Amino acid sequence: MQTAVQYATKAVSPAFAIANKVKAKAVKSNNLRPTDILERQAVHKLAGTDMAAESSKKFFRDQWNLIGYRVERMYLEADAVYNGAWFNKAYNLKCFVQDFRTATHMLFIFLFTRMWFRVSIFPPLEPDSPLHYGRQMAINP
């Protein structure tokens, strides 16, 4: 007769087999990383610190330090648009795609903020509109 421990072992062994395969694949892919990352990883392992937390802090620190650069770039690009230098470039398909993506992003941001702050995509109702009663009474017309 089997004990409870043997039943439990039999029940969870497939999950452990999958976990061991995932771990083996992670170790194999970790060894294929560039040498500079492996060296940093070894330093963190010896120090007992978390490399992921350090890299996240570094990322946020770099983004914070880039705010001034991004503001400067924004003003340079706005100045180029204002002076007309932006439109004097050789306009090709790549420029069209970039401008189209920018216009699409701007349209999306406009529609999203309109829906978010008004909580509706529909135009405002006139005071004498027949739909106004349904809105006051929380009836979906």
pLDDT in tens, 76-87: 988 988 888 877
The number of C-alpha atoms within 13 Å of 107 and in the hemisphere containing its C-beta is 6
Concatenated DSSP letters of the chain: ---HHHHHHHHHHHHHHHHHHHHHHHHHHHTTS-HHHHHHHHHHHHHT--HHHHHHHHHHHHHHHTHHHHHHHHHHHHHHHHHTGGGGS---HHHHHHHHHHHHHHHHHHHHHHHHHHS-SSPPPPTT-THHHHHHTT---
What pLDDT, on the 0 to 100 scale, is given for residue 106?
A: 95
For the chain, percent of residues with pLDDT exceeding 90? 24
The length of the chain is 141
Q: What is the model's pLDDT at position 138?
A: 65
Which of the 8 DSSP states describes residue 87?
A: G
For 34-77, how does the pLDDT look when each residue is reduced to its tens digit (9 = 90+)?
888 888 888 988 999 888 888 899 999 999 999 999 999 999 98
Q: Global pTM?
A: 0.42
Higher pLDDT, 127 or 97: 97
